[in-house]
């Protein structure tokens, strides 16, 4: 069985990488590539756009025009655009892989509600390595417990518009859940001035935006005399793209429901 995949943001950095990843995956075929109407690359061959051979799939400006040609939509865009695409996919019976981050609680609720109609896989990070890190973080938090200070560091390219990254927040939530803490209550986002002594129950976040950093994440568990650091560094978007394509292939065999990459990997 061949899975027909559509992608949004086809002319962007992630979109082009997804096109390449789909071309490399067995049983997957790109059948739709969507961009904003004002993008000058609408009409271009999506294969050539990604630096590959022509694939005959032209970039179009409307998901509605190609919704009948796809089984799964992979969406790495911005929250408002994703929500528009979600409405169309959920009423058209098209599954979704969502890599967009920065949703409001209300938007998150709408996504989970739409999962009663179609299968949806949403993750802050589709890298296999990052999802392994989530399991390691849960283990470390449970073993080290309340005897350590916990800090989350993340760095991304200058174009990323939300902070902290969705992956950093997911890492913090994994740790908080393992310790029985509410991340919304204990998170500290940056420090400045006379902050006083550190509250051990807090989980700190530090954010860097610079250059073309694809994505670095480190969680530090620091005690007196030693520290444990769990780090993931991405050197290419291909790790995210391959994971998203893997999720798309997995999703078409599932019932309607809300899934994440942990489900895809059986973790």
pLDDT tens digits in sequence order for the chain, 267 residues long:
799 999 999 999 899 999 999 999 999 999 999 999 999 999 999 989 888 888 999 999 999 999 999 999 999 999 999 999 999 999 999 999 999 988 999 999 999 999 999 999 999 889 999 999 999 999 999 999 889 999 999 999 999 988 999 899 999 999 999 999 999 999 999 899 999 999 999 999 999 999 999 999 999 999 999 999 999 999 998 999 999 999 999 999 899 999 999 899 987
> Do 86 and 116 have their domain in common?
yes
Give the pLDDT of residue 226.
97
Tokens encoding 195: 């902050």
Q: Which of 60, 115, 104 shows the shortest CA–CA distance to 80?
A: 104
Q: 131 φ, ψ to 5°?
A: -70, -30
Rounded to 5°, angle at Cα 164 from 162 and 165: 70
List residues with catalytic annotation. Answer: 156, 160
> Do 88 and 191 have their domain in common?
no
Give the pLDDT of residue 185.
97
- Complete edge-to-edge strand list for the sheet that includes strand 187-189: 187-189, 203-209, 149-156, 215-223, 226-234
> Do 173 and 258 have their domain in common?
no
CATH at 68: 3.40.50.720
Is residue 232 within 8 A of residue 6, CB to CB? The reply is: no
Distance CA 9, CA 35 (A): 5
Is residue 78 within 8 A of residue 100, CB to CB? The reply is: yes
Tokens encoding 265: 């990997």
Please tell me whether residue 209 adopts helix, strand or coil conformation: strand
> Do 230 and 253 have their domain in common?
no
Give the pLDDT of residue 52.
83
> Do 43 and 117 have their domain in common?
yes
Give the pLDDT of residue 231.
98
> Do 117 and 133 have their domain in common?
no
> Do 118 and 247 have their domain in common?
yes
Instruction: Identify the DSSP state of 45.
Output: B
Is residue 118 within 8 A of residue 257, CB to CB? The reply is: no
> Do 11 and 111 have their domain in common?
yes
Q: Which domain holds residue 24?
A: 3-122+237-265
> Do 55 and 118 have their domain in common?
yes
Q: How many domains does the chain divide into?
A: 2
> Do 7 and 80 have their domain in common?
yes
> Do 142 and 10 have their domain in common?
no
CATH at 161: 3.30.360.10
> Do 140 and 250 have their domain in common?
no
């Amino acid at each position: 069985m061949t899975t027909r995949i559509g992608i949004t943001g086809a002319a962007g950095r992630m979109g082009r990488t997804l096109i390449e990843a789909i071309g490399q995956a067995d049983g997957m075929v790109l059948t739709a590539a969507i961009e904003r109407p004002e993008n000058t690359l609408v009409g271009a061959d999506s294969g050539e756009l990604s630096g590959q051979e022509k694939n005959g799939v032209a970039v179009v400006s409307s998901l509605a025009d190609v919704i009948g040609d796809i089984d799964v939509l992979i969406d790495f865009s911005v929250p408002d655009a994703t929500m528009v695409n979600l409405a169309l996919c959920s009423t058209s019976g098209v599954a979704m892989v969502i890599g967009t981050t920065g949703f409001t609680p209300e938007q998150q609720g709408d996504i989970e509600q739409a999962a009663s109609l179609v299968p949806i896989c949403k993750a802050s990070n589709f890298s296999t390595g990052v999802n392994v890190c989530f399991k390691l973080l849960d283990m470390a938090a449970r073993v080290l417990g309340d005897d350590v200070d916990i800090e989350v560091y993340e760095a991304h390219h200058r174009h990323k518009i939300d902070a902290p990254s969705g992956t950093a927040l997911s890492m913090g939530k994994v740790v908080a859940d393992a310790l029985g803490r509410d991340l919304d209550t204990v998170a500290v986002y940056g420090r400045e001035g006379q902050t006083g002594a550190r509250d051990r129950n807090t989980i700190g976040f530090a954010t860097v935006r610079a250059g073309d950093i694809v994505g670095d994440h480190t969680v530090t568990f620091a005690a007196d005399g030693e520290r444990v650091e769990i780090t993931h560094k991405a050197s290419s978007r291909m790790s995210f793209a391959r994971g998203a394509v893997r999720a798309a292939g997995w999703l078409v065999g599932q019932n309607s429901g809300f899934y994440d990459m942990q489900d895809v990997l059986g973790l």
